[in-house]
Amino acid sequence: MAEVSLYENALKQFGKAADIMKLDPNLREVLSYPKRELTVNFPVRMDDGSIKVFTGHRVQHNVARGPAKGGIRYHPNVTLDEVKALAFWMTWKAAVVGIPYGGGKGGVKVDPSPLSIGEIERLSRRFFSEIQMIVGEDKDIPAPDVNTNAQIMAWYMDTYSMNMGHSVLGVVTGKPLDVGGSAGRTEATGRGVRIAAEEGLKFMGDNPADATVAVQGFGNVGSFASKLLKDEVGCRIIGVSDVSGGLYNPDGFDIDDLIRYRDENKALIKGYPKGEAITNDDLLAMDADVLIPAALENAIDENNAKDVRARIIVEGANGPMTPEAEDIIAEKDIFVVPDFLANAGGVVVSYFEWVQGLQWYFWDLEDIRKALHKIMKESFSSVVNTARKYDTDMRTAAYLVSIERVATATRLRGIYP
């Protein structure tokens, strides 16, 4: 059986919304293709003196609303098709929250786990030099993604700056604070999920302070979302899970204590004594007001979707539901806040970091949080109003908002020459 193209699947989601809004066929044609695809094959000297050639990609889907924006991942399964799809989705993520970016994404086909820190640095610097022809603070601004981090962003920034002959803070985001990073960036995606969950509960007529929450995935996004929902909203986090299994506590977890345990136990929650051990499937079927899948893609599929009992799903991960599962969830009348709205807090604060870098003027943490809350709440409201207008689901409504904004910018700018 032929392998299904991730990009073709992305186009199907786009097509559903384009049909509903009766998008101009000419604009539909333009928006169905990436603007630019760059593939590079580059040599890296390994620690043993040998030379190995790696393949990397950078794709810019659309730049009608501003520079391309999106992460760079290091993974052995990176393909051009995957990077194209991720760049495509980034266009809509930036547009749905109204920030002036287009969509970009990058990746290197590599398993970084056996590489030394020196090999990773040499690989990172050489790759960024190879794609420098299309990146820049006014063209394309990369960020961390799978298996990349703040240190790698610092190497990218330094490499670009050395090649340009002066420091260029705005060429990447997700940098360490000491070299132009932004306060609030680490918590940003989790904070966005926390805001989306609270807004979803209000929309459903619930008192957020009385809500129970189950969180699948206790990494950066899941743990910050859990902590903020408990501390700032008053929710009870009754279920959490990670790759080692799940935990249940009907009285709610002390999230700070659980985070401490995780950090002291190889980043895993298994064995935490203040909860009943459960499976990941048990967590997905938990009787909670809110379910936050914040782990891997396709975690909710046609086999377990029928067991989901939450009234609201807030997608912290990218693509946590298969299309088949989504049909089942829709039949159960569960309210879904889609991924590219719910987890957009990261790209919003990346935008703030970029603005700060351009100005060489850095904001206080509370100003960043206040600005993020404003954008996320306004974006949620815009998508809800669009869902009502077209009598459709939240994911399709989010696409409708995004496509309208990108199509309008494309139409106004025109086709050159």
Q: Which residues are catalytic?
A: 105
In order, the DSSP letters of 27-53 are HHHHHTS-SEEEEEEEEEE-TTS-EEE
Give the span between the Cα atoms of 294 and 364, in whole angstroms: 28
Bin 163: left if φ > 0, else alpha if -120 < ψ < 50, else beta.
Answer: alpha
Closest CA to 339 of 13, 3, 5: 13
**Tokens describing residue 121:** 């640095």
Largest CA distance in the chain: 66
Helix spans in 49-172 (H)? 80-96, 117-131, 150-164
Pick the closest to residue 229 from 212, 242, 216 (CA basis): 212
| Contact yes or no for 317/240 (Cβ under 8 A) | no
Cα 399–chain centre separation: 16
